Structure 1
Amino acid sequence: MEKFSLSVSVYSKKIKIIHYLFLLLFFMNLLSIFFKYILGHPHVYGFVPLFDFDSENNIPTYFSSIILLISAVLLKIIAIFKKSISDDFHLNWSVLSFIFLWMSVDELSKIHELLSGPIKNLFDLPRIFNYAWVILGTLFILILFIFYYKFLLNLPKKTMFYFVVAGLVFVTGAIGVETISGYYRYVSVEKDFVYIIMITIEESFEMLGVIIFINGLFQYAEDNISRIKLKFEP
């Protein structure tokens, strides 16, 4: 008995919702910055912490976690299809799905931030590595690139372009801007207007990177998969 099927024709209509939601959240964050740092009102009946990119367990945090989860689900669906046709790279898609699932969970729990303390205790690091977890993050990205280099080269050029751009945008925010903001936080001590702008750039780049990746996944599905049907049997 057929349980579900995926028609990739949803791309052109449905994926735009994510774009609009990101733009809305970005505007709300700017508005919260205006209230907090320009007018000096840090709460405004809960509006500021609800949309502040630097706050946790709020709407932007859940949005980031959800789009990472969407990526994980799409990757797993493609992996199942690839396995059904005995594609050599089906495991690569599955591993990517697990990585994005972990990132979705981590976005809510912030487990990676807990690594900074132990790393700084073990090593005498330069001050620029105030957020020391970026060292492990950079190492993980390099290892991932080495193992996925052949995978990337075997993708259609359009998909490879989406994936590479998405990766560069995401890493620029998650590693590059995070490193700079961490150093600035160490120097300035307080979270001032400059710091919150850095956080806005960092979080925006991370969200945009994932959104570009989702676009690439849907485009890949449109070009390579007409319909996916899965059957679950006792």
Structure 2
Amino acid sequence: MNTGETTGDATVGAGSPAAPRSLRDVLLLPGRGTATLLLVVAALSAVSLLSRAVDGVPGLDGVPGLDNLERWFYVDREGGVPAWFNAVLLFVCAERLWQVSRAARTGGHPQRRWRRHWLLLAVAFGYLSFDEMSAVHEIVIGPLRDGFGLTGFLSFAWVVVAVPLVLAFGLLFVRFLLAQSRAVRWGVLLSAAVYLGGAVGVEVLSAGAYSALGEDSAVYVLAAGVEEALEMTGLVLFLGVVTTVLRGWVARPVVVSLPQDAGRQRTGA
């Protein structure tokens, strides 16, 4: 029961989190989101390996459910469940980056000068989501490989185009990253390192295994699994970063005004 006098305003946070102070704070999604998504990544990776392990095993051909396991769950197949999951992660990142760019357009916003960088990131992730399902990058492999006589570790010739683009993109964002908080900056760098380590680094190694041993070799199958697992893990981490940034910028405090001499209670009968 309120029996006193209250003056002034009380500020109640509308779900706005405290500014992230550590790398852990900026990487984690609300609740158990990050742990849940990483469990999905682990499950998809395990089922992918299982699909290759049972493929061609005598007595298992034609078993209901197993005959289509590789088609739907092997990470190196286009249009399967892992590809869809990857595409959804990319799309969600793109959508939240776009929201961040919108929030940064507000007059006087500390990130206003970087709003175009956030928007460019949104466009880039939107394209990557589209490419994940349409496999546009696969189209250039044949012409580049034949035109430049690429073999071995460069058998997947799209990396010849991708690496210069990634380097140019990185240089364009140096000042942008330096303008972010330390936690956000290192969160972006860590997630990018994990993602690119799979998408480009392990991709080159898997190309060497593909060229030397073939796509059915255990080495190539394992390399393809590690590559996709790193890509998905990097996206989960980056989704945590951009979600933390978005929640911190978009959430606004709700100001509740409490009148003076509020609610004196009657004590008599």
Give the TM-score taking structure 1 as reference length: 0.86
Counterpart amino acid of 1:52?
Y
| Structure 1 counterpart of 2:217, from 189, 192, 196 | 192
Partner secondary structure for residue 104 of structure 2: helix
Partner secondary structure for residue 235 of structure 2: helix
**In 2, are the aligned partners of 1:8 and 1:218 still within 8 Å (CA)?**
no
Question: Which residue in the other structure is 2:138 paired with?
Answer: 113
Could you give the per-residue CA deviations for residues 104-125 of structure 1, whole angstroms, max 9, x where no partner exists?
Answer: 0000111111112222233244
Question: Which residue in the other structure is 1:213 paired with?
Answer: 238
Aligned ranges for residues 145-160 of structure 1 at < 5 Å?
145-160=170-185
Counterpart amino acid of 2:40?
L
Counterpart amino acid of 1:20?
L
**In 2, are the aligned partners of 1:170 and 1:208 still within 8 Å (CA)?**
yes
Structure 1 residues 88, 40: CA separation in 2 closer, same or farther (over 3 Å shift)? Answer: farther
Structure 1 residues 42, 151: CA separation in 2 closer, same or farther (over 3 Å shift)? Answer: farther
Aligned ranges for residues 47-86 of structure 1 at < 5 Å?
47-85=69-107
Question: Which residue in the other structure is 1:26 paired with?
Answer: 45
Structure 1 residues 156, 20: CA separation in 2 closer, same or farther (over 3 Å shift)? Answer: same
Q: CA deviation at 1:38?
A: 6.9
Q: CA deviation at 1:190?
A: 4.2
Cα distance in 1 between the residues matched to 2:43 and 2:129: 21
Q: Extract unaligned runs of 5+ from structure 2.
A: 1-13, 18-27, 254-269
Counterpart amino acid of 2:168?
I
**In 2, are the aligned partners of 1:42 and 1:48 still within 8 Å (CA)?**
no
Cα distance in 2 between the residues matched to 1:83 and 1:136: 33
Q: Pick the structure with greater CA Rg.
A: 2
**In 1, are the aligned partners of 2:49 and 2:221 still within 8 Å (CA)?**
no
Aligned ranges for residues 82-161 of structure 1 at < 5 Å?
82-85=104-107, 87-125=112-150, 127-161=152-186
Could you give the per-residue CA deviations for residues 49-96 of structure 1, whole angstroms, max 9, x where no partner exists?
Answer: 221111121111100000000000000000000012350000000010
Cα distance in 2 between the residues matched to 1:88 and 1:42: 59
**In 2, are the aligned partners of 1:53 and 1:203 still within 8 Å (CA)?**
yes
Counterpart amino acid of 1:69?
F
**In 1, are the aligned partners of 2:191 and 2:234 still within 8 Å (CA)?**
yes
Check if 1:226 corresponds to 2:222. Answer: no
Could you give the per-residue CA deviations for residues 211-234 of structure 1, whole angstroms, max 9, x where no partner exists?
Answer: 110011112233443259xxxxxx
Counterpart amino acid of 1:26?
S
Cα distance in 2 between the residues matched to 1:190 and 1:35: 16
Cα distance in 2 between the residues matched to 1:22 and 1:115: 28
Partner secondary structure for residue 54 of structure 1: coil
**In 1, are the aligned partners of 2:51 and 2:69 still within 8 Å (CA)?**
yes
Cα distance in 1 between the residues matched to 2:166 and 2:30: 31
Check if 1:183 corresponds to 2:183. Answer: no
Q: Relative CO higher for 1 or 2, CA cutoff 8 Å, sep ≥ 6? A: 2
**In 1, are the aligned partners of 2:153 and 2:206 still within 8 Å (CA)?**
no
Structure 1 residues 152, 195: CA separation in 2 closer, same or farther (over 3 Å shift)? Answer: same
Same amino acid, percent of matched pairs:
22
Give the helix-richer structure, 1 or 2.
1
Cα distance in 1 between the residues matched to 2:45 and 2:252: 34
Question: Which residue in the other structure is 1:231 paired with?
Answer: none
Structure 1 residues 226, 181: CA separation in 2 closer, same or farther (over 3 Å shift)? Answer: same
Q: CA deviation at 1:206?
A: 0.6
Cα distance in 1 between the residues matched to 2:59 and 2:90: 34
Counterpart amino acid of 1:36?
D
Cα distance in 2 between the residues matched to 1:208 and 1:26: 11
Cα distance in 1 between the residues matched to 2:216 and 2:16: 44
Cα distance in 1 between the residues matched to 2:58 and 2:46: 17
Q: CA deviation at 1:133?
A: 0.6
Counterpart amino acid of 1:32?
S
